[in-house]
Structure 1
Amino acid sequence: MANSKGNRRRFGSVRQLKSGRWQARYRDPLTGQIRPAEETYETKTDAEIALSVIEASIVTDEWSDPDAGKVVFGGFADRWLKERDLEDTTRERYEGVLRLHIQPTFGARLVSDITPPRVRTWRTRLLEVGVGEPTVVKAYQLLRSIMTTAVDDGMVKRNPCRIKGADTYDVPERPVLSVPEVYAVAAAIQPQWRALVLLTAFTTLRFGELAALRRRDVDLAARVLWVRRNQAELNSGRLITKAPKSRAGFRPVAFPAMVVPELERHLELHAADGPDGGFFVGPRGGRLRRSNFRDDWTAAKAKAGVSADAHFHDLRHTGNTLASQNGASTRELMTRMGHSTTRAALIYQHMTSDRDRAIADRMGEAVRRALKETDTPLD
């Protein structure tokens, strides 16, 4: 196949093929076998330059096996996911994104064939066919993470996911319910969910944190509840109770005195029995699920004249806004919300202090003023 024209060097050799093009060959540093460069060259000089570049990459430990990336992406991605220590909900989300939005395009390709232009084309097509921007961002982030491992494993030299700004998106501003709207919805909803609406608005707990509350987690005398666990629901319907994602998630949160009578009534009529009984339970006494009250929430919004676009989660924005408007610093607000801070000493901060109760008291006074101005009844 090749003629006898060649040139042996201290490192590797170059030779001219019958086609007239030049080939560079060198000893594989991993196997010791002679292997050709990935491409051929028009001139002998070009082949020698390529050989020098290969030699330099081996000397500086930057050389990677050109065949390492000749692995089908689909299998590599599946192994990547299997080898990760992920929470059940995160694993389920990744599996869905991978199956629906990444594998159809890249599953049958080699890892080495996933190039920046192909990544750009893939992302553009997802947006063109109507996949929501948040989902596209999550798909891009997942693909980038998988390809980062491919780089670390020496399968490719650079991560092909290099689109500036593709890993973020502008979160649309969610509606903030006014205090009268919160009370209007609470009055319109089924009695067993009234305390759920008020606590969500004035403690800003996440739904999963509320669903995992037990009787012993709520101290009415101190006006504080303790977040110790979180409930998550998989697509299969299975419920999982787990620890909060970070130490910042373990926290006490104070609430205004004005909601204490409502919580007392709830404990008497709707909570499960015993100190470990669920503070909020489903209609038949089982564990609380979103589906338990979704229809009631929709009906209550309509009856109260609240925007149909308002989500239950938007009640958190009401509480966060109230706390911010009534003196909560950024650090205090992040602690109430269960967000991690940059200081380890503040991550598990005991917020049962007078300062936190003062925040709750100011929130309560703001609620009273808003209700008085609109003649909205407290009960």
Structure 2
Amino acid sequence: MPRKKAGRQPRYGTIDVLPSGRWRGRYRANGVLTNLGTFETWEDAEEALAKVQARFTLGLEKEPTRKGQNGLEMVIDQYFKTRGKKLSERTRTENLASLNNHVVSYFKGIPLNQIDRWKIEVWWHTPTMEKRPVARRNTYFALRSIMNYAVARGYIAENPCQVEDAGATVAKDRPYMSPADFDRIVAQAPQPARMIFEFMLGSHARLGEVVALTVADVSLELGTVALVRQIRKDGEAPAGNKYGSKRTVTVFPSSFAPVRVMLASRIGTKPSDPLFLREDGSPITRTYLQYHWRKAREKAGLPQFHVHDIRHTGLTIAEGTGQGIKNVQLRGGHSTTAAALKYQHARLEADSGMADAADAALQLARGQLVPRAEMPKNETD
């Protein structure tokens, strides 16, 4: 049992010596007993308690309340019933599953105000989580949102999710598919799949986004496409884009030209009709495009490339025009919705120039020499 050091107590809190010889510092505020941890010396424990008192006195931290005695599971439930409603259904489902699978059981029985930075660090470095870096990162950021909510509600004084470099990219790099590789693959694809793959290259649309397109989403006058929804699974209704990345993109002219011809040949088309149809006139699906991509890449002898690599190739070409990373982020939908909307109207004219320049670079890479002096320039960046 811990023994108190007779006649020697700090000005704030209490200090006990443990059987191990280390000193434990604790303090009580608003009826809540908080354990600061153990220290090498009595003086170290006293210094830690004094710092806590100073932060409370200066208003740099809130004193813990009985709310902090609640468990993490209860706060997660509250979060998803309130602030979490703003998330898309897919994000809500994935975040809740990640938290239940990787966090709730680990911290079960620990009061919320006892989950400190050290405990989060230990969880981060558990063998189970280190073996699953992508799941660990995604779960961590879901947990950080929960903890921010807990701070705002007064359950805890500060967010304990402070892992350094937690947001570092952990996904394995995909092999780069050059324009020549892309051309070899699409040359093996039948129409209209070939036209759609070209459109994906010039618009940077994700697979689900291109499947969800309607005739109303394209502007023949401006050569643009509005990417505002996606179909995540065949048979499901369209939903919001990944990360809510609604955007309007000027398509590479060479990628848009076949779409103009296709729409001109369709009779009785309504704005709400699917933009792309299969050979039999039915709407395209994710499975349809994935099937033709797999067949084409095998015939081309390039089985390592996925259909999503089309998007990376197009964005790499766009980035190579030197017109600014913000433009690339806008075209790819990598920024937040608010940022995309903020730049969208002001950048549409510049985006058109970027698409022309990127398309010229694409034609140059394909061997169709385009003099650099003739490539459209964006003077405003």
- Indicate conservation of the 8 Å contact 1:127/1:136, yes or no: no
Give CA-to-partner distance per residue, 1:301-332, whole Å, 9 cap, x none.
Answer: 111111x3322111112112223334544344
1:280 aligns with 2:276: yes
Which of 250, 261, 264 aligns to 2:261? It is: 264
Kindly indicate whether the alpha-carbon contact (under 8 Å) linking 1:249 and 1:339 is maintained by their aligned counterparts in 2.
no
For the structure 1 residues 77 and 318, does the alpha-carbon distance in structure 2 shift closer, same or farther, using more than 3 Å as the test? same
The letter of the residue matching 2:93 is: E
CA distance in 2, matches of 1:46, 1:116: 19
Aligned partners of 2:45 and 2:187: how far apart in 1? 81
CA contact (8 A) 1:38 1:66 kept: no
The aligned residue for residue 304 of structure 1 is 300
Per the normalisation by structure 2, the TM-score is 0.71
Counterpart in the other structure of 1:17: none
1:59-118 Cα shifts (integer Å, max 9, x gaps): 545452353322121122122122122122221221221122222312443323323343
Tell me the equivalent position of 1:157.
157
Q: How many residues align?
A: 348
Map 1:216-235 onto structure 2 (within 5 A): 216-220=216-220, 222=221, 224-233=223-232
Q: Deviations over 1:259-309 (max 9, x none)?
A: 62466348758x994232111257886655423332332222111111x33
Specify the code of the residue in structure 1 equivalent to 2:257. V
User: Which of 237, 240, 252 pairs up with 2:238?
Assistant: 240
Q: What is aligned with 2:87? A: 86
1:122 partner letter? W
Contact kept, 8 Å, 2:249 with 2:351, in 1: the verdict is no
The offset of 1:199, in angstroms, is 1.0
* Structure 1 counterpart of 2:348, from 338, 347, 350: 350
Residue 69 (structure 2) aligns with: 70
Change (3 A) 1:74 1:224: same
What corresponds to 1:20 in structure 2? none
The residue number in structure 2 matching 1:176 is 176
The alpha-carbon deviation at position 227 of structure 1 amounts to 1.0
Contact 1:64 1:154 in 2 (8 A): no
Indicate if the aligned counterparts of 1:176 and 1:318 stay in contact, CA closer than 8 A: yes
Distance in 2 between the 1:86 and 1:267 partners? 39
> What is the root-mean-square deviation of aligned Cα atoms in Å?
4.7
**2:287 aligned with 1:291, yes or no?**
yes
The answer on whether the counterparts of 1:257 and 1:364 sit within 8 Å (CA) in structure 2 is: no
d(CA) in 2 for partners of 1:290 and 1:80?
34
Closer, same or farther in 2 for the Cα pair 1:272/1:313, shift >3 Å? farther
Contact 1:254 1:356 survives alignment (8 Å): no
Contact 2:218 2:226 in 1 (8 A): no
Partner SS state of residue 226, structure 1:
strand
SS in structure 2 opposite 1:75? Answer: helix
Instruction: Find out whether 1:320 has 2:315 as its counterpart.
Output: yes
Question: Secondary structure of 2:106's match?
Answer: helix
Greater Cα offset, 200-209 or 336-345: 336-345
Residue equivalent to 1:21: none
**Structure 2 counterpart of 1:98:** 99
Q: Deviations over 1:125-152 (max 9, x none)?
A: 2556732x12211111222222233333
Seen in structure 2, the aligned counterparts of structure 1 residues 114 and 137 have a Cα distance that, compared at 3 Å, is: same
Q: Which moved more, 1:96-105 or 1:225-234?
A: 225-234
Task: Tell whether the 8 Å contact from 1:180 to 1:370 is kept in structure 2 after alignment.
Answer: no
Given that residues 203 and 249 in structure 2 are in contact (C-alpha distance below 8 angstroms), is that contact kept between their aligned partners in structure 1?
Answer: no
What SS does the corresponding residue of 2:225 show, helix, strand or coil?
strand
Q: Distance in 1 between matches of 2:123 and 2:113?
A: 16
Cα distance between partner residues in 2 of 1:318 and 1:51: 56
> Taking structure 1 as the reference length, what is the TM-score of the superposition?
0.71
CA contact (8 A) 2:130 2:136 kept: no
For 1:130, the equivalent position in structure 2 comes to: 131
Deviates more, 1:351-360 or 1:68-77: 351-360
Task: Give the direction of change, closer, same or farther, for the CA distance of 1:126–1:279 in structure 2 (3 Å limit).
Answer: farther
Report the CA distance shift for 1:363/1:159 in structure 2 as closer, same or farther (over 3 A): same
Structure 2, unaligned runs of 5 or more:
1-10, 15-25, 37-42, 370-381
- Return the alpha-carbon distance in structure 2 between the equivalents of residues 201 and 340 of structure 1: 19
| C-alpha separation in 2, matches of 1:216 and 1:25 | 64
Tell me whether 1:365 sits opposite 2:363 in the alignment: yes
CA 1:70–1:186 in structure 2 vs 1: closer, same or farther (change >3 Å)? same
- In structure 2, distance between residues paired with 1:344 and 1:334: 12
Which aligned pairs between 1:97-116 and structure 2 lie closer than 5 A?
A: 97-116=98-117
Cα separation, 2, equivalents of 1:365 and 1:198? 13
Report SS of the residue matched to 1:231: coil
Q: Distance in 1 between matches of 2:332 and 2:95?
A: 25
The answer to whether the Cα contact below 8 Å between 2:175 and 2:305 also exists between their aligned partners in 1 is yes
SS of corresponding position for 1:241: coil
Q: What is the deviation of 1:185?
A: 2.0
Name the stretch that deviates more: 272-281 or 91-100.
272-281
Contact kept in structure 1, 2:72 and 2:107, CA below 8 Å: yes
Q: Percent identity?
A: 23
